[in-house]
Structure 1
Amino acid sequence: ASELGSAHSFPLSSRASLGTRRFKGRAPDYSILLLEEASGRLLVGARGALFSLNALDIGDGTHKEIPWEASPEMQSKCHQKGKNNQTECFNHVRFLQRLNATHLYTCGTHAFQPLCAAIDAEAFTLPTSFEEGKEKCPYDPAHGFTGLIIDGGLYTATRYEFRSIPDIRRSRHPYSLRTEEAPMHWLNDAEFVFSVLARESEASAVGDDDKVYYFFTERAAEEGSGSFTQSRSSHRVARVARVCKGDLGGKKILQKKWTSFLKARLICHIPQYETLRGVCSLDAGNSAHTRFYAAFTLTTQCRKTLEASAVCRYDLAEVQAPTWSTRMASDAGAAMTVGVPEPRPGSLLTPSCLDDPLSQNSVTINVDASMNIHSWPLVTMILGLLWGLRADPIAGLISLTLCPFNASDGWIHKAVVLGSGMHIIEEIQVLREPQSVENLVISLTQHSLYVGAPSGVIQLPLSSCSRYDSCYDCILARDPYCGWDPST
């Protein structure tokens, strides 16, 4: 690993041992993690099961389990459709979040017939009836997916049903919305990796609405086509898109479609770093200080000769910039590029999210995607693919956990951001056998990092300060969790 920043000692390398706890049930693929700090529970979605673990010690044997398998009949039908009965024809849990004070909400692929359910959080049991999941969850467990429950509404982004067209949707809401797919495609073979709510309406001087941001990689539009034409090019680029939470859809056109959808390209200033692998946010509840950390890998063609990754940081203020360009097309099909409408989509001073004046004049709004949001890399990793990122603020610093995803060897890196650079503090092999790290969650209350993997869940302490043998090593490491007491 090489880092951009000040000189430092080599990162501390080790195998996870001291203070490590593990959980493995009868199910495989522990990819969904939901930490509930208030109740001290770590909720886990796996293949064919859900688990509720004690966040203080996930291996203490007090866990609860909900078996949720696809029936043999469903698996048989899935196989008859040409799907793989060794990997695809199961119920892969893809979504698990808090619905309200008493219930959780979960969705699974259910052998290519997705189902969703509201779970009694206290009893931790499935209901007697389920909800149709085809509008909320991908059929294919391999498709990129991200979802949020916001004020009871479900905001999801993935490829639904058997079609390959990606979509951002809102369901379980009085106004169900989706992105436009014909005649103009707002998303071009998109693979989603992350979404987050930014509460931009709180204490806003301009009357902004709360917004949901989506991060994804998609095929680049053909030259001069903006984002309207499906591209046959294999070149893929990173994007961020946003919609307004208060969007009610259009009245004449864009009925049941987003009127506040805009997108822009994310650029991490090293050539060929285009594929977005993971994103985490910091201080999303305070939009004025929200930052996003994004992990990029090389394009597919470059990865044939080299595996490498980079992490770039973006401020929400950049993503909010009013220089997003908007593409409008009349009913006759002629397109023109104009500046962002005034008021721009999302303003509640004149609530364009709620009653978009442009949508009443027979125009369709779509972003041109010519807006670029730039950043310089904080860190680069050679021979490694950074996949999962999680961040937390400690003593005015930022600690990130980075997961190299090259040989699926189960190593993670802990890093701290110092100014314009990132400093690798520690690298730990958390998985004994070669496999991928699927998910990462940080708990400040439990001072723990939880790692989801195919073989189980691992709990690690956020720091191992006793590993530093001298004051020099401790201070030079710059670990925000550790300090040195000369007297002891």
Structure 2
Amino acid sequence: MQFTPLGASPRDLDPSGLKWDLGLLVGANVTLDELSQLPKCPVLTLPCASPPTELSNVRHFSSRALNYTTLLLEDEKGILYVGARGAIFSLNSSNIADGSQREIRWEASLEKQIDCLQKGKNNKTECFNHIRLVQRLNDTHLYACGTYAFHPLCAAIDADRFALPPHLEEGKEKCPYDPARGYTGLIVDGGLYTATRYEFRSLPDIRRNLQQRPLKTEESPMHWLNDAEFVASVLVRESVRSPVGDDDKIYYFFMERAAEESTSFDKSQVARVARVARVCKSDLGGKKILQRKWTSFMKARLVCYIPYYEVLKAVHSVDGGSWPSTVFYATFTLSAQWRSMEASAICQYNISELQRAFEGPYMQYEDTTRKWTLYDGEVPSPRPGSCITNRSREDGYLSSQDLPNSVLEFVKLHPLMFEEVKPARGEPLLVKKNVLYTALAVDRAPALDGQQYDVLFMGTGDGWLHKGVVIGSAVHIVEELQVFGAPQPVESLVISKGQRSVYVGAASGVLQLPLSSCARYSSCYDCILTRDPYCAWDGEGCREVAGAADRTQLTQDVQHGREGCRNGSAQVPPVQKNRTVLQGDDVLLPCEQRSNLARATWLVNGTARLAAGRGHFRVGVDGLLVTDTLPEHSGDYGCYGEENGLRSLLAAYALTVLPEPPKEPAAPTAPPLPSPDRQASPDMKFVYIAVIAMLGGLCLVLSAVLLHVSCLQRRKGRYVLGDPSAPSVELQTVSANCLGGGREEEELSREDGCLQIIPGEAPTAASPARETPLAPPPPPPPLPAEFTNGIAALPNMLRKMNGNSYMLLRQQEEPSPSPLYSTTFAEELSKILEKRKHTQLVDKLDESSV
């Protein structure tokens, strides 16, 4: 069951200006003191991007800053920290919009902005202080880092005072210079673990700083990281209750160029692949070899098996209370070389699969072929790349500095593993077309059947949030919400179990949404079909399971989505609507499916099932279209939604087709003239002369009118669409009765609302003048209010059904000529209406669950 109404990433920073144009000042003979006296212009901001009004219980926070992309939730303290461009915020996690926020303004200085501009950087996106890291340092302080106009700085912030310290720290080894670079950072037991490109034009690197021994990746004789772009990092406490005395590990997920193979069609280009790497928390580096370098660094290929080529976008981990149950969820999209296609996939990886790859065979680099191949030689002991365990300590290796040189040399030359990390069950959980997933968060929720279900929240590149539940080997999409009015990528997602909320970070602000909106489902049919672990039916309404006092009265079926309701029970039947049309008209009976996974079924008089595309009937996603109606089409029509074996009545109509349209009253006739062979009296001669004179004058007037109309038609073109000064009416019928079957003598507009399109040509000098048309008969009386074919129920816009369209027009009084008088528009509209009877509606929904 879905409801259909995914800040700016470091790669898609928002256009915004400096407070003055620094580009005009470069090279000018202006001092900093003079610059400080220049008038300040307001900073440009994005258009309003508040959530759509359809969403309920949604809270929004934004300020003068942009790019609210760095989120840190401290659920037990009720605080959400937000890092933006030039600011850090402390928000109340229970209600981020209550106005109690605290703010630290941390803008880049004018001097650094000018220096950044002189280096050739963009003064609209790059020469600012983009906050890239906000982490808890200890019980009293936070630690934050920003790009600071390509001069990275970091600061230890007192959490109680929430203010910058007097002295800032150099951040060039902790934070990237470029805000567009992929970056990930964690503080673990006082050590700062980061991965990015640090120095200006430097190589990618994984580093550790702060209160532990500094370490980094090896650069020679070969690069351990080949043009890597980092996505995420995850801490796994593998030392907790470890039977072998293992160490905690930090896993890094990234994209890099792969020399072991090339999957692109252009063989001259090295393919980019997804990787997962790991390091040990207690790694101290080597004593002589790999000094201040990782001795535990290993990496492996991460595959998802979606068609074509994979680009890793987001990663999130979840465990069931112990690290052996840890699973990783990752989102992938197609690479840039498939620009004509859009698709995303979700894959799940077990921690055991990662361990199996890192404990498998190694690869080695061949200088002659410049590729990585399987290493089949001898492996020294203890195993290279592994953490120090009880077995290592028994052999006298108490730390990585005690490892023999042979092991360190092997680690230096063999960082890549041969085995790939494959997804659980060997395939993606979800492959979705026309969607780009950019962010991911996962919550593990208990259901009434005693099982735990993983609920996925997936942000898209155009401001939507998709919610799905993992059932077996697939993801069932529960709902799709448009959370931002202005399309923008969803950059960050954080889940709060305490507040039962999900926080969405994007360019224009932060949103707080409830994990579930069970009250939105109005029937047992909808509540059960949604298969949402958060929701259940209590006999009267759809309720949240977490807030229920007595769960024995609740009904839920996450596994199948069909048990617990008696064929649409507890659902209020829809009110039957009357439709009365004339024979030959087309009538549309609207029926909107509440679920994109449901199949529409139409029954006539409660028994006869209508087949799509048969005879006069066309079943589409908008409803049922009956073309060229006949009297035998009269009856009761019911629209049902069928899903997972359940059937629900969604709409009911009583259709009446009149055998023929009301007859038009006869036009008044003039009194008969006397027969010419009858002898005329002298008095009648005078009458004849007067009549002839009056007719002559009338001919002169009509000739002048005809000449004037000819001039107007010559300017307007071939088609005339009624009278622009006619009163405002709405088109009620798209049928043969309104089209008039091509009768050119039909009136241009009628009181019953039919809009006529009359083909014709303006008279030219080469064509003979046409006879003056006769005066039209008076229009028939208007049809009753119930004489409607349902077309007016459609919105006043184009409705597309498998490439065909129905267009509704609305005539209005306009001070200037309407665009409807365009010849091209009239021709296209005429063609559309003429082809209406050949419409082939979609007989089933798109394969996507959108």
TM norm structure 2: 0.53
Question: Which residue in 1 is equivalent to 2:636?
Answer: none
Question: Which residue in 1 is equivalent to 2:489?
Answer: 436
Distance 2:441 2:404 in 1: 39
Per-residue Cα deviation, 1:323-378 (whole angstroms, up to 9, x for no partner): 4333579xxxx995557655431141215663463435661413233220112100
Question: Which residue in 2 is equivalent to 1:293?
Answer: 329
- Please state if 1:404 is matched with 2:465: no
DSSP 3-state at the match of 1:86? coil
Residue of 368, 381, 387 corresponding to 1:346:
387
Distance 1:133 1:476 in 2: 52
Give the drift of 1:155: 0.2
DSSP 3-state at the match of 1:79? helix
Per-residue Cα deviation, 1:300-324 (whole angstroms, up to 9, x for no partner): 212x220111000000111011543
CA RMSD across the alignment: 2.2
Change in CA separation of 1:223 and 1:438 when aligned onto 2, cut-off 3 Å: closer
Residue of 258, 282, 288 corresponding to 1:220:
258
Give the drift of 1:440: 0.7
Greater strand share, structure number: 1
Residue of 414, 424, 428 corresponding to 2:467:
414
Question: Which residue in 2 is equivalent to 1:12?
Answer: 3
Matching of residues 31-430 of structure 1 within 5 Å: 31-223=69-261, 233-283=269-319, 286-302=322-338, 304-321=339-356, 323-327=359-363, 337-338=376-377, 342-344=381-383, 345-349=386-390, 350=392, 354-355=400-401, 357-359=403-405, 363-365=409-411, 366-375=414-423, 376-395=427-446, 396-405=452-461, 408=462, 410-430=463-483
* Higher mean C-alpha displacement, 363-372 vs 88-97: 363-372
Change in CA separation of 1:455 and 1:130 when aligned onto 2, cut-off 3 Å: same
CA contact (8 A) 1:400 1:416 kept: yes
Question: Which residue in 2 is equivalent to 1:4?
Answer: none
- Quick one: which amino acid aligns to residue 390 of structure 1? A
Change in CA separation of 1:274 and 1:21 when aligned onto 2, cut-off 3 Å: same
Distance 1:284 1:65 in 2: 36
Asked which structure has the greater RCO (Cα within 8 Å, sep 6+), the reply is 1
- Quick one: which amino acid aligns to residue 96 of structure 1? V
Change in CA separation of 1:111 and 1:286 when aligned onto 2, cut-off 3 Å: same
Change in CA separation of 1:273 and 1:285 when aligned onto 2, cut-off 3 Å: farther
- Quick one: which amino acid aligns to residue 244 of structure 1? C
Distance 1:341 1:412 in 2: 50
Structure 1 alignment gaps of length 5 or more = 1-9, 225-230
Distance 1:215 1:356 in 2: 29
Change in CA separation of 1:475 and 1:221 when aligned onto 2, cut-off 3 Å: same
Distance 2:163 2:91 in 1: 14
DSSP 3-state at the match of 2:353? helix
Distance 2:167 2:330 in 1: 39
Change in CA separation of 1:137 and 1:347 when aligned onto 2, cut-off 3 Å: same
TM norm structure 1: 0.91
Distance 2:155 2:320 in 1: 28
Structure 2 alignment gaps of length 5 or more = 6-51, 366-371, 447-451, 542-850
Question: Which residue in 2 is equivalent to 1:485?
Answer: 538
Distance 2:479 2:155 in 1: 40
DSSP 3-state at the match of 1:483? strand
Give the drift of 1:13: 2.2
Change in CA separation of 1:126 and 1:219 when aligned onto 2, cut-off 3 Å: same
CA contact (8 A) 2:363 2:418 kept: no
Distance 2:489 2:408 in 1: 49
Give the drift of 1:379: 0.5
Give the drift of 1:163: 2.1
CA contact (8 A) 2:190 2:212 kept: no
Distance 1:362 1:342 in 2: 11
Change in CA separation of 1:133 and 1:232 when aligned onto 2, cut-off 3 Å: farther
Distance 2:470 2:300 in 1: 25
Greater helix share, structure number: 2
Distance 2:320 2:214 in 1: 24
Distance 2:408 2:311 in 1: 36
Change in CA separation of 1:11 and 1:194 when aligned onto 2, cut-off 3 Å: same
Distance 2:364 2:115 in 1: 44
DSSP 3-state at the match of 2:527? helix
Give the drift of 1:271: 3.0
Change in CA separation of 1:356 and 1:275 when aligned onto 2, cut-off 3 Å: farther
- Quick one: which amino acid aligns to residue 325 of structure 1? P
Change in CA separation of 1:485 and 1:160 when aligned onto 2, cut-off 3 Å: same
After TM superposition, the runs of 4+ consecutive aligned structure 1 residues lying more than 4 A away are: 334-342
Distance 1:281 1:237 in 2: 20
Question: Which residue in 2 is equivalent to 1:3?
Answer: none
Change in CA separation of 1:234 and 1:11 when aligned onto 2, cut-off 3 Å: farther
- Quick one: which amino acid aligns to residue 359 of structure 1? N
- Quick one: which amino acid aligns to residue 308 of structure 1? A
